[in-house]
Amino acid sequence: MNIVILGAPGAGKGTQAKRIAEHYGIPHISTGDIFRKQISERTPLGVLAQSYIDRGNLVPDDVTLEVVRNRLAEPDCKEGYILDGFPRNVFQAEALGGITALDAVIDIHVPVSRLMARLTGRRVCPGCGESYHVDTLEGKNTCAKCGENLYRRADDNEATVAERLSVYASQTEPLIGFYNSLGLLKTIDGDKDKESVFAKIRSVLDGLYDNH
Ligand code: AP5
Ligand code: MG
């Protein structure tokens, strides 16, 4: 199954994509995670990507497409994958259509009013990638799963989040109509607890797997 997970910054794409990948045994491909790894390794791609990510803007399409094309060509994608954070505009969606056929596009919908607080309070585990919110950590700053010290993403400050939300509204939200017209869109209410959201996604994907 080739799946795309769509949603605004903070909608829970990474949280749910991680669970989908583990449950269905397919790789989780997050363009944001790929760029952040390159940034931490100070590669030329990382240096370039950082100049866009820190401002909340999109990394140029040609650079991003090259990253995705290379990643999808790796052998672990043969049995399917979950793409998180790509595509992010109609140009990328059309280019993806020329590389691979999709089985489903899951759109996690969360009211915009919830997103700023989710993101400015997010803490991430560098070991396993799990996301937390400061309000649920009870003063601790370690991952409940692997014990690593959590970090705050550089783009999770209020000004950059505001720009990311605006870029989402102008460039990424049109993909909802794009994929709806292709009959691929599955909308999920993301304003529920993480496990309820995952249960809904599973019920949608299990139906597709049965027919696959
Ligand atoms: P990317 O890393 O993709 O960031 P994003 O789209 O802004 O989304 P986030 O990762 O912030 O949110 P998420 O939906 O994954 O939410 P999460 O599960 O963590 O991209 C970063 C940057 O890279 C972009 O701005 C751009 O510059 C560049 N980039 C990436 N892809 C690109 C592309 N294709 N083209 C060009 N540039 C690209 O959850 C958020 C928080 O909410 C967490 O604290 C979590 O614990 C909490 N939470 C999750 N689910 C729930 C729930 N159900 N209830 C309560 N809290 C929840
Ligand atoms: Mg994410």
Answer whether 8's CB lies under 8 Å from 115's CB.
Answer: yes
Q: How do residues 148-206 score in pLDDT, each as one tens digit?
A: 999 999 999 999 999 999 999 999 999 999 999 999 999 999 999 999 999 999 999 99
- Give the ligand 1 atom nearest the CA of 153: 11
Give the separation between CA 172 and CA 166, rounded to whole angstroms: 10
Interval between CA 9 and ligand 2 midpoint (Å): 7
Question: Is residue 207 over pLDDT 90?
Answer: no
Q: What would the two tokens of residue 154 be?
A: 């550089």
User: Does ligand 1 have an atom closer than 6 angstroms to the CB of 10?
Assistant: yes
User: Does ligand 1 have an atom closer than 6 angstroms to the CB of 188?
Assistant: no
Question: Is residue 10 over pLDDT 80?
Answer: yes
Candidate of 45, 58, 69 to mutate for ligand 1, largest count of ligand atoms within 8 Å of Cβ = 58
Residue 70 lies in a domain: yes
Domain assignment of residue 189, given as a range: 2-109+185-210
Region 52-65: what's the mean pLDDT?
98
Burial-class residue 57 by CB neighbours within 10 Å (0-12, 13-18, 19+). Answer: middle
Positive/negative CA dihedral, 110, 166, 172, 123: negative
Question: Is residue 211 over pLDDT 80?
Answer: no
Which residues are catalytic, by number?
13, 88, 122, 153, 164
Question: Is residue 209 over pLDDT 90?
Answer: no
pLDDT class for 208, splitting at 50, 70, 90?
Answer: confident
Residue 191 lies in a domain: yes
Interval between CA 63 and ligand 1 midpoint (Å): 19
Give the separation between CA 125 and CA 14, rounded to whole angstroms: 12
- Give the ligand 1 atom nearest the CA of 11: 14
Query: How many domains would you assign to the chain?
Result: 1
Task: Check residue 41 and give its pLDDT.
Answer: 97
Domain of 11, CATH number, reads 3.40.50.300
Question: Is residue 98 over pLDDT 70?
Answer: yes
Residue 50 lies in a domain: yes
Q: How do residues 100-151 score in pLDDT, each as one tens digit?
A: 999 999 999 999 999 999 999 999 999 998 899 999 999 999 999 999 999 9
- Look at ligand 1, atom 29, and give the residue with the nearest C-alpha: 32
Question: Is residue 34 over pLDDT 70?
Answer: yes
pLDDT class for 210, splitting at 50, 70, 90?
Answer: confident
User: Does ligand 1 have an atom closer than 6 angstroms to the CB of 64?
Assistant: yes
Answer whether 56's CB lies under 8 Å from 155's CB.
Answer: yes
Kindly report the pTM of this predicted structure.
0.96
Residue 104 lies in a domain: yes
Residue 116 lies in a domain: no
Interval between CA 147 and ligand 1 midpoint (Å): 22
CA distances in angstroms from 76 to 27, 159, 183, listed in the order given:
7, 37, 27
User: Does ligand 1 have an atom closer than 6 angstroms to the CB of 122?
Assistant: yes
Q: What would the two tokens of residue 146 be?
A: 């692997």
Reduce the secondary structure of 75-97 to three states and give it as a string.
HHHCCCEEEECCCCCHHHHHHHH
Task: Check residue 135 and give its pLDDT.
Answer: 95
CA distances in angstroms from 212 to 22, 120, 162, 205, listed in the order given:
19, 39, 40, 10
Interval between CA 183 and ligand 2 midpoint (Å): 25
Region 72-77: what's the mean pLDDT?
97
Q: What distance lies between CA 32 and its chain's CA centroid?
A: 7
Residue 176 lies in a domain: no
Residue 189 lies in a domain: yes
Residue 91 lies in a domain: yes
